[in-house]
Amino acid sequence: MYFYCEKCKKQYPLNTHAIRCSCGGLFRLHKDPEDVVPQDVSIGHMVTPLVPMNAGGIEVLLKLENLQPTGSYKDRGAATLVSVAKSLGITKIALDSAGYAGASVAAYAAAAGMDCRVYVPEGVPDGARQQLQTYGAEVEVVTGTRMDACAEVKKHLGTSWYYASPAYNPLFAEGVKSLAHELYEQLGGKVPEYVFVPAGNGSLVIGLYLGFMEIGRLPRIVAVQTDGCAPLYRAFMEKRGIPVEEDDVGKVFDDPNFSIERPKRLQEMLFAIESSGGDVITVTQQELEEARADLGRRGVYAELTAAAGLAAAKKFFPHGKPDNYKVVVPVTGSGFKR
Ligand SMILES: [Zn+2]
């Protein structure tokens, strides 16, 4: 296994302290068929439940990723990233995060006996900070936004701290692939027709795409953004020659509650979504809140962003869906911290 540059194809070892190629391209992971990805670091192997729900006449299957050890699907990415890092002899990892990614990496780093440092933007909820500290992570609070935290961590990595960023390090999406395999097993060897996921930084879209590619069939992957922060939606529509109003997609991408900035892997996300015959849609704040309330009435306590998939599924099928369609909505994060 090795990293290679998505632009110039230059190869880098997995333990590189470079965060991207010298040409500026992002890393992707190369795996040979005989390569086994280490998965030794565990906080208990978790198969999350897949439960049916009727939301506004639409039958969906909720994948309860909020029940992961630290409260989000990001544990899948962190488990793999940290396991591989440990197998490479890495002992110090760092990342920037405003929430769940930091918690996941910090928890798995703790389980691996590794040092972890998380750069968080000021204004991160106390609960999130406390969770990081409880896992033994050093928390560096950065003045400014999520993007400032990202700039700050890069200044301090040097050659001693390994960058465990879900956006930059492809080992993260490699771990998220297990979500696709698990769904396939839970559906009795079937691939769902649709999966609705928050776009975020792309690790879920890309991880699902890579995982289902291994299975050999893709569901339609529909990525969701809020209408105030929708760079992926804009790119998706513009590629089709459909003009979008600035007001519909937002100008400022630094809201710590949502997907914060233009995703680093926007082109990779577009490729995954298009290859799957999927779509990108936006939902309003009100639609998000309604979807979170729907989840609550089903007994599921989700963070607001984690309701995006359900909000989108309701919007996507306004008159109901074909009975034979299996529509999966991962509940990506627990509401407990926010
Ligand atoms: Zn390159």
Q: Has residue 97 been placed in a domain?
A: no
Q: Has residue 147 been placed in a domain?
A: no
Domain holding 54: CATH number?
A: 3.40.50.1100
Q: Has residue 116 been placed in a domain?
A: no
- Kindly give the distance from the C-alpha atom of residue 333 to the centroid of ligand 1, in angstroms, as a whole number: 34
296 & 248 share domain: yes
Sheet holding 162-163, edge to edge: 138-142, 115-121, 92-96, 162-163
60 & 208 share domain: yes
Q: Has residue 299 been placed in a domain?
A: yes
- Kindly give the distance from the C-alpha atom of residue 112 to the centroid of ligand 1, in angstroms, as a whole number: 31
- Kindly give the distance from the C-alpha atom of residue 272 to the centroid of ligand 1, in angstroms, as a whole number: 21
Residue 177 · residue 210 · CB < 8 Å = yes
248 & 306 share domain: yes
27 & 67 share domain: no
- Kindly give the distance from the C-alpha atom of residue 38 to the centroid of ligand 1, in angstroms, as a whole number: 26
- Kindly give the distance from the C-alpha atom of residue 270 to the centroid of ligand 1, in angstroms, as a whole number: 20
pLDDT in tens for each of the 338 residues of the chain? 999 999 999 999 999 999 999 999 999 999 999 999 999 999 987 899 999 999 888 999 999 999 999 999 999 999 999 999 999 999 999 999 988 899 999 999 999 999 999 999 998 988 889 999 999 999 999 998 888 999 999 998 988 999 999 999 999 999 999 999 999 999 999 999 999 999 988 999 999 999 999 999 999 999 999 988 888 999 999 888 888 776 555 544 444 444 346 788 999 999 999 999 999 999 999 999 999 999 999 999 999 999 999 999 999 999 889 889 999 999 999 998 64
Domain span at residue 239 reads 50-72+170-330
Residue 276 · residue 209 · CB < 8 Å = yes
- Kindly give the distance from the C-alpha atom of residue 73 to the centroid of ligand 1, in angstroms, as a whole number: 30
How many domains does the chain fold into? 2
Q: Has residue 67 been placed in a domain?
A: yes
**Of 200, 338, 198, 335, which is closest to residue 260 (Cα–Cα)?**
200
Q: Has residue 101 been placed in a domain?
A: no
- Kindly give the distance from the C-alpha atom of residue 3 to the centroid of ligand 1, in angstroms, as a whole number: 11
User: Which contiguous run of DSSP H or E holds residue 224?
Assistant: strand 220-226
59 & 28 share domain: no
7 & 57 share domain: no
Q: Has residue 128 been placed in a domain?
A: no
203 & 260 share domain: yes
Q: Has residue 132 been placed in a domain?
A: no
12 & 67 share domain: no
- Kindly give the distance from the C-alpha atom of residue 19 to the centroid of ligand 1, in angstroms, as a whole number: 11
